[in-house]
Amino acid sequence: MKKVLFVLVIFAMLLASCAPAAAPKQEAPKEEAKPAEVKPTEAPKAAEPKQEAPKEEAKPAEVKPTEAPKAAESVTIRALFMKQAGYQESDIQAMSDEFMKMNPNIKVELDFVTYEALHDKIVTSAAAKAGTYDIVLMDCIWPAEFAAAGFILDVSDKISADMKKDIWPGALESVTYKGKLYGMPWLNDIVYFYYNEDLLKKAGYDKPPKTYTEMTEMAYAAKKKGVVEYPFVETFHQDEGMTISFSYFLLARGGKMFDAEDKPAFNSPEGLETLNWIVKGMKDGLFNPSSTESGYEEVRNTFSQGSSLFSENWAYQLNMANDPKESKIAGNAKIAPLPGEKLPSATINGGMGLAITADSKNPDAAWQYMLYISSKEVQKKYAQNALPIWMSLFDDPDLVKMQPELIPVSKEAYKYLQNRPLIPFYSEATKVISREFQTAVLGKKTPEQALKDAETEILKIREQYKPGGK
């Protein structure tokens, strides 16, 4: 008897610790005085012009005072951000402080998680329907998934035609699903090519490679001359990074990741060529062996240590790799558009948008905050680590002065921007892709087999997501 009881208790403890908790069905308390309907959507704009540029028509004066009495009831909005590429934690904190100073009735609380944890944090809190966050930072691969699941609000009618006209199409696309906008574009980022100028000269070249073939040649030459042990550090960790790296290699060779019907299209001659190239590069020591454990921060650190000739990363690496406090190669980290092969170049859109969660209790305050931190003034001020979403700012002399190297390269690189597929099962598909390709890279499967296995499994997942799938 005692034994049985003991086992039962242990059983209980175990289950309690490993069973996924049931989603608490918490009903959002109904708010009596909804400031939502009363406040015109233009209200937030009123805040912007106050700062400086008064080109956005009149209006500011009248709206403010009518809002003032309502300001008595203050609201708190919670926002979930990531700490990694793009705007740094301190930037976002400063933006929020400025916003709160201008809007004393709105309190903004910030949460930061790593990119790797961001997706799961969003989906678990959204599924709990407890209204944990009002705003979440959403990567451009998630709108399909979140919108299909009903986690985020459609904000198509809040973004005016004028705004749309001035936002980079790629950035706008990063919050779009089935023609609707599910967020405000905020982080405008693409992958760039980085090279260590000093090492490149030592290897005997004075210009960065234009194609992957050229790049491979240069890498072999640098290795042969003993300039670096491993010429190239890449993001091949078992996560989205592996998928992205493979994607731009593939796109440059004229391949595609997915077709128009959301079917995987990477199991193609181009796909095989790409994967073979990666596998060979790893075997020959072209790529740093640590690539398979590296995310973007690890790549940046390795590159900043001076132990890599080339690397590919988001825009933020430029400033950080040239910052003597962060880097041993300050002054030598140079940026260029990604190489091409069949295409002149191909890069991946890493734009991220801010979305309002479906269970937010203060969607209007949230929207006001989102508009503020994505406004031209704010984006210009904090352009050190991320470029603005506004096309007109790219000709702004102040901004060009702030980012003299990045802006010209960006203008060129944006021409070759490609989006990752907007499919609802992307986060599952990318797990399969990164796992299978890593298996090939580590030599445990032939590239042919890995491509085929990834394709088969993703087709299976796709079946499940069809209406009426099991």
C-alpha 233/C-alpha 194 separation (Å) is 10
Asked whether position 290 contacts another protein by CB under 8 A, the answer is yes
Q: Which is nearer to another protein, 144 or 386 (CB)?
A: 144
| Binding-site member from 84, 196, 288, 385 for another protein (CB under 8 A) | 288
Asked whether position 21 contacts another protein by CB under 8 A, the answer is yes
CB of 11 to another protein, least distance (A): 6
Report the site for another protein in 346-385 (rule: CB under 8 A): none
Cβ-based neighbours of 40, under 8 Å, separated by 6 or more? 63
Q: Label residue 178 left, alpha or beta by phi (over 0 means left) and psi (-120 to 50 means alpha).
A: left
Angle of the 269-283 helix axis to the 212-224 helix axis, nearest 10? 10
CB of 350 to another protein, least distance (A): 19
CB of 387 to another protein, least distance (A): 28
| Binding-site member from 5, 22, 33, 58 for another protein (CB under 8 A) | 22
| Binding-site member from 427, 446, 448, 452 for another protein (CB under 8 A) | 427
Asked whether position 28 contacts another protein by CB under 8 A, the answer is no
Count the site residues for another protein by CB under 8 A.
59
Asked whether position 324 contacts another protein by CB under 8 A, the answer is no
Q: Which is nearer to another protein, 137 or 409 (CB)?
A: 137
| Binding-site member from 54, 204, 269, 289 for another protein (CB under 8 A) | 289
Angle of the 240-252 helix axis to the 426-441 helix axis, nearest 10? 80
| Binding-site member from 314, 424, 454, 455 for another protein (CB under 8 A) | 424
Best CA proximity match to 168, nearest among 27, 350, 292, 363 = 350
Per-residue x/- marks for another protein, 225-264, CB under 8 A? ----x------xxxx-------------------------
- Specify the stretch interacting with another protein by CB under 8 A; choose among 12-20, 102-110, 393-401, 403-411: 12-20
Best CA proximity match to 337, nearest among 438, 211, 227 = 211
Asked whether position 42 contacts another protein by CB under 8 A, the answer is no
Per-residue x/- marks for another protein, 428-467, CB under 8 A? x--x--xx--xx-xx-x--------------------x-x
**Contact indicator for 206, 193 with CB cutoff of 8 Å:** no
CB of 433 to another protein, least distance (A): 12
CB of 225 to another protein, least distance (A): 17
CB of 346 to another protein, least distance (A): 25
Backbone angles phi, psi at 467, to 5 degrees: -60, 130
Cα–Cα distances (Å) from 63 to 44, 196, 297, in that order, read: 9, 52, 44
Per-residue x/- marks for another protein, 293-312, CB under 8 A? x----x--xx--x-x-----
Which two structure tokens, joined as six digits, stand for 414?
A: 């944006």
The binding site for another protein (CB under 8 A) comprises: 3, 6-7, 10-23, 116, 119-120, 123-124, 127, 145, 148-150, 229, 236-239, 288-293, 298, 301-302, 305, 307, 424, 427-428, 431, 434-435, 438-439, 441-442, 444, 465, 467-470
